[in-house]
Chains A and B, each alone.
Chain A
């Protein structure tokens, strides 16, 4: 593949290639639709790159292999889709507890249970609220295009190492299956990556042994460890907020959506603008930490917020926390694998704009921004 040139690639394959270029030299996974192209691609690409690929006997085995590989200092990754990610939660909690960097990809499909194989965003709570047991957080990144997922994959490996923490890439079945033009990053030189003095690489008789472990039976000691983790999460919360805006500067109705849904909303925003509704889009890219700071800038201008998700209402809770009852927050969601269309979102925009008075042109919308709207 020629460097720096655009190629047409499926989301899943592009993420796998980006991971290899970011220095990932260990992948373990277990098949599940709609992310199978990731292990399929890795099965030959890791071999080519001099890394290791394991089709594990289960999701649980795969995440624990990643735990081991990550603990030994290798850039390691696993991927799955919703029911498989549920099975990996125990290992993800261990990774966080033992401060082992790893990248985990969830190409979300609809649930609950085995659910279906169509796109969904119904794993938001699981992704951002721990998922596994214990007090922990992962950096959770969600792109909206193949290019952005590629860029975020590279970022995920850097951030996982920087914070010694697992990073979750949250996609959905559309992003896994879609083909789009993408410019791939140049491969990193794995020998040039920052040193990991904590990794279990063998002492060679020259240093004290390193230990990768999440068990600590002494309450005071474990509390000290957890407070250290908390300080790390606080650093992440203040430094790692990411978002993008679309036609948001003069928007009185601010849609909030991430991933594929954000693209559908962007089209709906354009349609609404043609009808004179001053709509815009705030797109969280980091789901944890949620980009609350971006809402501080948006609240004074906005009359209302409309969260759109392929779920029954999960991210909308973070929107409410960020807006803090200063403006009304509405919700529209589809579930079960149904993808909302731009026309359906437009209907919601019209209704919401009607309810909150945002349907006038921005110049005349001063009244719509008044305190009278606050619920």
Chain B
């Protein structure tokens, strides 16, 4: 947990890297799916992964979040109170999880739906108008993929190709027609991250 490499995604040294992510938004935004794709892609890249959803009286429009751990070593704790990366897809998520990001960690904000900027000075912040871009692509529901693309672009946590491979495995064949749209969304997110690096 106090592993310094964990705060700097993409950094490679002899310390095994463990990334703890909290992805949060409202029900219907594909938060849990985003986390599952990330975990699945990590598994395809032979990393150790875990995905733990918040659950309960959840519903569309309610809150949804999940914790994903991607590590070079077997995942010990699947819960994290100090994640190295937080994705906030709406205001309540930003309010709740911004304070939990580890110093030096990364905070991704969906500026389309968040009415304020980050308050933390000690974390890296990436602003992504994910919902706006998804609307431009003609399908608001791929905002999660735009954000996921930005996350991959900023961290190199897993390859975009692994995410697309995972998508093909997770989606039933009758839905595979949606893969190109998801690919475009991922790419747009990656471009945003590249522009800010």
Contacts and interface: CB of A to CB of B under 8 A. Distances in A.
Interface stretch (A17-25, A53-61, A208-216, A337-345): A337-345
A117 B79 contact: no
B43 A117 contact: no
A128 B77 CA distance: 26
Nearest to A179: B51
Interface in A120-159: none
Contact of B49 (A8, A33, A34, A341): A8
B36 interface: yes
B81 A8 contact: no
A342 B39 CA distance: 22
Contacts, number: 65
Interface string A165-193: 00000000110011111000000000000
Contacts of A266: 76-77
A267 B55 contact: no
A270 B75 CA distance: 12
Given A8-B49, A33-B55, A263 B77 contact: yes
A33 B1 CA distance: 31
Contacts of B51: 8, 178-180
A17 B36 CA distance: 19
Contacts of B77: 263-264, 266-267, 341-342
A274 interface: yes
Interface residues of A, number: 25
Interface residues on B, range: 20 to 34
Interface in B34-74: 36, 39-40, 43, 48-53, 55-56
Interface in B70-92: 75-82
Interface string A1-14: 00000101000000
Interface in B4-48: 36, 39-40, 43, 48
B2 interface: yes
A343 B1 contact: yes
Interface of B: 1-2, 36, 39-40, 43, 48-53, 55-56, 75-82
25 contacts: A8-B36, A33-B56, A117-B55, A174-B78, A174-B79, A177-B55, A178-B52, A179-B39, A179-B50, A180-B50, A180-B75, A181-B43, A181-B48, A260-B78, A263-B77, A263-B78, A264-B79, A266-B77, A267-B1, A267-B76, A267-B77, A339-B79, A341-B79, A341-B80, A343-B81
Chain A to chain B: the 10 pairs with minimum beta-carbon distance, closest first: A267-B76, A179-B51, A267-B77, A341-B81, A266-B76, A264-B77, A181-B43, A178-B52, A8-B40, A180-B50
